A and B are shown apart, each in its own frame.
Chain A
Amino acid sequence: MDGCRSGVPTYEGDLHVVAAAHHIVKALGATKNLSDDLRKILIDLDSHLSMITSNIDSKGGRGLVDVEERLDLAERKIMRWETDPMMIWDSGPKEASDYLEAVDETGKLVDGLRGLSVHENRKQKEILHRAMNIFQTAMSRLEEELIHILVRHGQQFEPKNMYSRSIRKDIVYDESFVSVEDEPTKETSSQNCSNDESGECIVDLVHADVIPDIKSIAKVMFTSNYGPEFCEAFISVQKEALEQYFSFLGTENLSIEDVLKMEWTCLSSKMNKWTWSMKIIVRVYLASEKQLCDQVLGGLGSVSSYCFLEISKATILCLLNFGEAVAMGPHRPEKLLRLLDMYETLADLLRDIDTLFSEEAGSFIQLQFHELLERLGESAIAAFKAFRVAISSNGSLYPFAGGGVHPLNKYVMNYIRMFPEYWNTLNLLLKNQHPGVADQVTKPDYGPDTSLLTSCPMAYHLRSITSCLESNLHKKSQLYKDEALQHIFLMNNIHYLVQKVKGSELRLFFGDEWIRKHNAMFQQHAMNYERATWSSVVSFLKDNNPGSSSMSKSTFKERCKGFSIAFEEVYKTQTSWSIPDPQLREDLRISTSLKVVLAYRTFLGRNLAYTDDKCVKHTVEHVENSLLDLFGGSSRSLRNSRRW
């Protein structure tokens, strides 16, 4: 600026030069894409030139008088607000622009006087001192106005209807194996704010109408070297607004110790909340905050990203710490789906994070996100392994009453039914995880129908899980003393397994071959059951001498009695057994009927001569009807209902 310090020009010619220069500087200043430094230089130049102009008119002393008059005017405009209880920007645009004009004028005078101060003129020094004083008052006031505008026009938005996970159900792993199947499923479905998960939804955190006001304050403060004050004020208000929003979302700061000690149901809901808050905070709030920073501080180099980082850092770290705490917690199987949710959310947000914190100063945050993602992935794998271990080590001391579908089976199948929704993530995470030597059997021996899905890593692991489950169920079946019940149990459970696979997207991963194989398996158990139960009963009805026309009456009586006792025994035991699936129950009854009723009818038909006898306790119809009572799950007796 030394070039401008040439003092006060004394002759006419200068006037034109200065005026022309002034004109050029103004024109240049209006250019949009100027670097900050250049703009600053132009502004300085502008104020110097106007100072020179004001002095040219009226050489020396009178120039200062002019300056003083201008300062008086500006001072009146600035100082009157110091006693006014109203905020300037609340009072109207005219007031605001008047004020800014006065500030601008004072700034120019300060700069100009400073440029002239080489003359060591005492009067001039005094005026400069006064101007600087007024200027400080104005700057302090602008800071105050800024805070007021930000607070008053700050807008909160409703987080509802945003980013809820679509149709995933909340299933809570219950170690007491209470069935989760019949519980009403909490469905948390709703729409995203823009109907597009990946779409940006930016809201106005501060009302759009006041953005120009904030910008004008920013402009004045930055050009006057009060940028740091502007940043401090701006950051503090916006930071607090973010924190308020954070607690408005119902998210609270938790220590790692708290999280590690938390009960599962509570932790589960916190994990859910985290997933949801993370999305809203990053994709909506921070994206909007970034936009606000850019709008307000756009032309000021790295200032915008500095402010953005300062505003968001603490809240981000808080969210990250919860993630860290969850990831380091015990790897319980029930955590798997929640962990996958968190993992997917984070993986999904990485791009946003990398954009939001693209500057060097933000790389710290970026890094923390990437680290957490890795940790969550590890934790999810650990939970996945724990899930398998929990399945194979689930032991029982007593047989499961009735031989129905075991709760472990229900739990596992309902749980893994969710996996296909996460298959991309699971495939990624499980890629390098081997299901284990013991599970070599699960390698697909599928022929030509091997599709991409049945041979993906998740499919291997799914089959490995069900094979763990099957061998556990086999172990559980050994607890029954009754061989027939063992078969009922396995039939029920394998049937259930197959149904669950067939009725969900799991079928794509298990493949038709697996389904065929398992269909055959439960059918085999049904046949084994029939053999185990009914062969001995039906043997009473068998004709030992197929050649002769009929047996003796005593033999008939004996056979009849034997059949009745055996049938009643079966009736009594097997009415308490259970086949929960109505279709399966129906099928088994029909095939049993076919075998037993047919044999009984033939038996009676062949010995028609004795059938009026009292020894025929049960009619064919009666036997047929009684068979319908089997597998109802509650024990009945024929003995009491009929005379003997």
Chain B
Amino acid sequence: MTGTDQSSFLGRISIRRNQVNAMEGYHEQEIEDLELFQKQLSDRFAELLSAPDDAPTEAFLSISWIRKLLDVFLCCETECKAILLMERDAAQISKPPLDRLIPELLERVVKAMDICNAATNGVELVRHCQKLAEITVSALEQKPFGEGQARRAKKALVSLMSAMHVDDKESSVQKTAERSWSFGRRSGNKDRHHGHYRSLSWQVAKHWSASKQIHAMTMNLAAPRGPEASCLPAPVYILSLIIVFVMWVLIAAIPCQERSGLTTHLPINKHVNWTHSLAGIHDKIGEEWKKKEKKGMAGLLYEMQKMEKLGQSLIEFTDSYQFPGEKEKLDEVAAQVAELAEVCRRMDEGLVPLQMLIREAFHRLVRNRTEFLDVLEQGAPVV
């Protein structure tokens, strides 16, 4: 979706609204706008769904894929808001059932903001993993290679694995923290608990839980039926669903505070055309999540999965390595190291922009909420 597409769409709505300010024909125009919007949504999600499962740069759930998802989110958000608010009489927004639907939407928006912040923290964890993986790579790339380098790599890998396998439960914060540093042996260090990311700043708040937030966001999230399906409740539903969906994907992909029990079922109405691809993505991620959840894991982010696999294999190698090592094994490892280096490179390229994009989504949600509140205020009956 290019910027021109979007601006022409927004322009279209704006012109329509200005032209057809008489009530007649208004509804038909709206239906048309909505259909066009849904068509675009459908296309965008179809494109996301068609991402290959294992192509290094564009893979499904890769950093660049998530960035695309967030781009789609930002576009949808703008357009949906345009359909809802642009040139519209505030009184329309404050009539039932919108007087209930919009506040519900705004509650979801607030929860989504917290999830964005949790994901921002999560990206920090992923960056931490990247740094450890980089140490591993540079140790294993050393020539000549010996046990010293193997030990160096192993040390980084152990930290990497424990950082990756964060148990996101709050209760385990301290425990994991101590585990992730292997220095406890000296008496002076006993009261110290390190853990780069098992710390306070990892938390959104005490007792906060990403999975509970998603659960709460799905409450009352039902597709409008009957005549409502073609008027204002429809874009409210679409916006809500997309927010919930995108936040759900973020939580599944990026480590977040307390993800256990994350639902794998979002109330997506599969009987509407535009949700086909969305439902497809949802099912795919849901399956993946069910498979991985029990193991305790760093999230479904493609690069993290890859890193986890490579890390495990490399840790086995460093465990059993003896100088000078077999040529065949060393070649195999060299290939893995090259792969890990590639993963690191993609992280290095993608994570900071991803973090900024998440922050942008956050700010967008903030503004979005303000705009809705302003309109609600205007539309509120004068006391």
Contacts A243-B199, A256-B110, A257-B111 given; does A135 touch B148 at CB 8 Å: yes
A590 at the interface (CB under 8 A from B): no
Contact A314 B124 (CB under 8 A): yes
Interface residues on B, range: 35 or more
Residues of chain B within 8 A (CB-CB) of A144 are: 183, 186
Q: What residue of chain A has the Cβ atom nearest to residue B134's Cβ?
A: A228
Residues of chain B within 8 A (CB-CB) of A211 are: none
A442 at the interface (CB under 8 A from B): no
B313 at the interface (CB under 8 A from A): no
Contacts A117-B144, A129-B147 given; does A371 touch B117 at CB 8 Å: no
Contacts A232-B135, A254-B205, A328-B366 given; does A148 touch B188 at CB 8 Å: yes
Contact B149 A132 (CB under 8 A): yes
Residues of chain A within 8 A (CB-CB) of B201 are: 239, 243, 253, 314-315, 317-318
Partner of A136, one of B151, B188, B363: B151
Residues of chain B within 8 A (CB-CB) of A235 are: 196
**Minimal beta-carbon separation of B370 from chain A (angstroms):** 7
Partner of A87, one of B131, B186, B203, B383: B186
Contact A140 B134 (CB under 8 A): no
For window 112-156 of chain A, which residues contact chain B by CB distance below 8 Å? 114, 117, 125, 128-129, 132-137, 139-140, 144, 147-148, 151-152
Contact B188 A228 (CB under 8 A): no
A313 at the interface (CB under 8 A from B): yes
Partner of A255, one of B149, B183, B208, B363: B208
Contact A114 B200 (CB under 8 A): no
Residues of chain B within 8 A (CB-CB) of A313 are: 124
Complex CA–CA separation, A232 to B341 (angstroms) = 18
Residues of chain A within 8 A (CB-CB) of B68 are: none
Contacts A128-B144, A139-B152, A232-B135 given; does A243 touch B200 at CB 8 Å: yes
A246 at the interface (CB under 8 A from B): yes
**Minimal beta-carbon separation of A467 from chain B (angstroms):** 22
**Minimal beta-carbon separation of B348 from chain A (angstroms):** 12
Contact A152 B148 (CB under 8 A): no
**Minimal beta-carbon separation of A153 from chain B (angstroms):** 12
**Minimal beta-carbon separation of B340 from chain A (angstroms):** 14
Complex CA–CA separation, A147 to B182 (angstroms) = 12
Residues of chain A within 8 A (CB-CB) of B132 are: 232
Contact A324 B366 (CB under 8 A): yes
Residues of chain A within 8 A (CB-CB) of B183 are: 144, 147
Residues of chain B within 8 A (CB-CB) of A137 are: 148, 151
Complex CA–CA separation, A13 to B323 (angstroms) = 39
Partner of A133, one of B135, B146, B187, B192: B146
A558 at the interface (CB under 8 A from B): no
Number of A residues near B (Cβ < 8 Å) is 57
B138 at the interface (CB under 8 A from A): yes
Complex CA–CA separation, A161 to B369 (angstroms) = 39
Complex CA–CA separation, A232 to B135 (angstroms) = 10
Contact A371 B363 (CB under 8 A): yes
Complex CA–CA separation, A260 to B117 (angstroms) = 16
Contact A256 B146 (CB under 8 A): no
Contact A253 B366 (CB under 8 A): no
Contact B200 A225 (CB under 8 A): no
**Minimal beta-carbon separation of B139 from chain A (angstroms):** 9
Contact A237 B194 (CB under 8 A): yes
B121 at the interface (CB under 8 A from A): yes
A539 at the interface (CB under 8 A from B): no
Residues of chain A within 8 A (CB-CB) of B276 are: none
B338 at the interface (CB under 8 A from A): no
For window 167-188 of chain B, which residues contact chain A by CB distance below 8 Å? 181, 183, 186-188
Contact A228 B120 (CB under 8 A): no
**Minimal beta-carbon separation of B286 from chain A (angstroms):** 26
**Minimal beta-carbon separation of B293 from chain A (angstroms):** 24
Contact B149 A136 (CB under 8 A): yes
Contact A256 B192 (CB under 8 A): no
B31 at the interface (CB under 8 A from A): no
Residues of chain A within 8 A (CB-CB) of B204 are: 253, 255
Residues of chain A within 8 A (CB-CB) of B138 are: 225, 228
Q: What residue of chain A has the Cβ atom nearest to residue B362's Cβ?
A: A324
**Minimal beta-carbon separation of A428 from chain B (angstroms):** 21
Residues of chain A within 8 A (CB-CB) of B17 are: none
Query: Chain B 103-122 against A: per-residue CB contact (8 Å), 1 yes, 0 no?
Result: 00000001101100100110
Complex CA–CA separation, A396 to B87 (angstroms) = 38
B155 at the interface (CB under 8 A from A): yes
A90 at the interface (CB under 8 A from B): yes
Residues of chain B within 8 A (CB-CB) of A129 are: 144, 146-148, 323-324
Residues of chain A within 8 A (CB-CB) of B181 are: 147, 236
B20 at the interface (CB under 8 A from A): no
Residues of chain B within 8 A (CB-CB) of A225 are: 138
Contacts A129-B144, A133-B148, A235-B196 given; does A152 touch B121 at CB 8 Å: no
Contact B186 A148 (CB under 8 A): yes
Residues of chain B within 8 A (CB-CB) of A258 are: 205
Q: What residue of chain A has the Cβ atom nearest to residue B155's Cβ?
A: A140
Contact A134 B117 (CB under 8 A): no
For window 72-103 of chain A, which residues contact chain B by CB distance below 8 Å? 85-87, 90
A530 at the interface (CB under 8 A from B): no
Contact sample, A vs B, 8 pairs, CB 8 Å cutoff: A90-B188, A117-B144, A129-B144, A243-B199, A254-B205, A257-B110, A314-B199, A328-B366
Residues of B within 8 A of A (CB): 110-111, 113-114, 117, 120-121, 124, 131-132, 134-135, 138, 144, 146-149, 151-152, 155-156, 159, 181, 183, 186-189, 192, 194-196, 199-206, 208, 323-324, 352, 355-356, 359, 363, 366, 369-370, 383
Residues of A within 8 A of B (CB): 85-87, 90, 114, 117, 125, 128-129, 132-137, 139-140, 144, 147-148, 151-152, 225, 228-229, 231-232, 235-237, 239-240, 243, 246-247, 252-258, 260, 313-315, 317-318, 321, 324, 328, 361, 364, 368, 371, 375, 393
The 3 A-B residue pairs with the shortest CB-CB distance, nearest first, are A314-B201, A136-B148, A132-B148
In addition to A86-B186, A236-B181, A328-B369, 7 A-B residue pairs with Cβ atoms within 8 Å of each other are A125-B144, A132-B146, A140-B155, A232-B135, A239-B199, A258-B205, A317-B201
